[in-house]
Amino acid sequence: MYIADFFFTSCTTICPTMHRSMKTIFDKYKDNPDVMFLSHTIDFKYDKPSVLKKYAQKLGVDGPKWQFAYGSKDSIYKIAEKDYLVAVIEDSTAKEGYVHQGWLILIDKQKRIRGAYDGTNPEQVAQLTKDIPVLLAEDKK
């Protein structure tokens, strides 16, 4: 199972809060091989793989457990909207050039969405934290 999100490294609004929330969950499950993390950058212009690597190092999650995905605008935005049901828009009128939702999406081993949680809302992050062991137990049945 894994937790996915959409972000960009230069974001100063919701992304730092989302990734602090994910980092807390990461620290709790970093030794559990059944829980992974996947962050997709929406900044296809700046967030090249080398930038993502530095970002992961700064966050303290540089390794195979938490992957940072880079792709073309079309591919990442299509994945966000069609597969994860997350809104992602490049918007020149927005403060930082992008508008996106701060969802942390819980995906089970069958690649089904099992929950979407506002990564900036402590109550919803707490619910995600409670739902992970339930899903892990379900997978063991």
Give the model confidence (pLDDT) of 76-93 as tens digits: 989 998 899 888 877 777
Q: Tell me the average pLDDT across 56-85.
A: 92
What pLDDT does residue 17 have? Answer: 94
8 Å CB contact between 72 and 78: no
Write down the pTM of the prediction: 0.92
3-state secondary structure 54-71: HHHHHHCCCECCEEEECC
What pLDDT does residue 139 have? Answer: 73
| Whole-number Å distance between alpha carbons of 82 and 97 | 22
